[in-house]
Chains A and B, each alone.
Chain A
Amino acid sequence: MNPVNYLYLAALLFTIGASGVLIRRNAIVLFMCVELMLNASNLALVTFSRLHDNLDGQILAFFTMVVAAAEVVVGLAIIVSIFRTRHSASVDDSNLMKL
């Protein structure tokens, strides 16, 4: 098996995550789709690191994980505070700025 297959898998997962962001309406599921995209890019980075025999790719994946953790904390806090005021987690209901 060619290790490039890992890249194909990463591309597939990234595509599924991106379509999920476009299709789903629940803010929490939207966030999960973003996480899936981050995970897919991590897989690609780890594979690149293996293809080039150096650890820079893995370091980058590590930093991606840290940033993803920070992003999730803030994002979920925003979702909770929106849910408190609007009583809904659907992104369609947050339309106060619509003309």
Chain B
Amino acid sequence: MTSTGEAVQFWVLAVIAVGGALGMLLMRKAVHSALCLAATMIALAICYLAQGAVFLGVVQIVVYTGAIMMLFLFVVMLVGVTSEDSLKEQLKGQRVAAVLCGLGFGVLLIAGIAHAKLGHFPGLAEANAEGNVQGLARLIFTKYVWAFEVTGALLITAAVGAMVLTHREHVTAPSTQRELAAQRIRENKQVPPLPAPGVYARHNAVDIAGLLPDGTIAEDSVMNTLRERGQMRDVSQDMLRRMAELENSTAEWLGRPSSERPALPSQPRPELEPVPNHQKTTDDAAKRQEEGE
């Protein structure tokens, strides 16, 4: 049996750990899942410390929450923070089946532990007599020295593997700016530079598409990455919307019927009328003059 203090600590940590694990399972965004998992790992580290595994407790914090979770966060940022899990099921009934499987598995595991014949608990007093780190070092460099050496080979392989997997070989030399310009002219596609993002009077953020003369957005003024992630903001209707709101509130204040304009039609604008010829306008002016007299 353990002390009351450890019991209290255990129950607090168990709640945090299970809560973090469930949060990781249920959060839709990968970043939130990663943060929940980090909370669980820290709770587990304190569990290790409480059980006399001092070295492992510190390694858990340094390696797991410090290195591995940061690696996870890096990759989450690379892949896109806003990426959410789709809720669409690819296989019918898979989620229900998975939950049932999990429940059954958990019941089996816990029943197995409950039926195990566990006698008295000596604690780590004897094994930790000369200090936890010293005891671990003695074992690692005597009994488990072979496994330790193989671990070194494994780590080297993992590092090389990661480099090979993420490295991209340039088969040809990258084209220079001059070559790219020549190619653009040759293909006659987008010969001038791409339009710049932002609406100069109000917004200059890179995720806001510039507006074309007719008020629609210029899609290619926003960089590819943002466009692919769907992070392009369209402010072309913002001013009109704000103006309508202002008009509405004014009308309400004055007690007049609202003079709200119908929403802007989405179809392309009609062709501009041809400029009336010079002869006709002078005739009109002459006629007006006569009428005036």
Contacts and interface: CB of A to CB of B under 8 A. Distances in A.
Interface stretch (B19-27, B193-201, B231-239, B270-278): B19-27
Q: Is the interface of B mostly helix, strand, loop or mixed?
A: helix
B154 A67 contact: yes
Contacts of A13: 17-18, 21, 40
Given A15-B105, A59-B136, A73 B71 contact: yes
Contacts of A22: 94, 97-98, 101-102
Interface string A7-48: 111011111111110111110110111011001001100110
Contacts, number: 234
A29 B23 CA distance: 12
Interface residues of A, number: 70
Contact of B79 (A3, A4, A5, A79): A79
A71 B127 CA distance: 30
B83 A89 contact: yes
Interface residues of B, number: 84
Contacts of A32: 24, 33-34, 37, 72
Interface of B: 1-2, 4, 6-7, 10, 14, 17-18, 21-22, 24-25, 30, 33-34, 37, 40-41, 44, 47-48, 51-53, 55-56, 59-60, 63-64, 67-68, 71-72, 75-76, 78-80, 83, 85-86, 90, 94-95, 97-99, 101-103, 105-106, 109-110, 113, 118, 121-128, 132, 135-136, 139-140, 144, 147, 151, 154-155, 157-159, 161-162, 165-166, 228
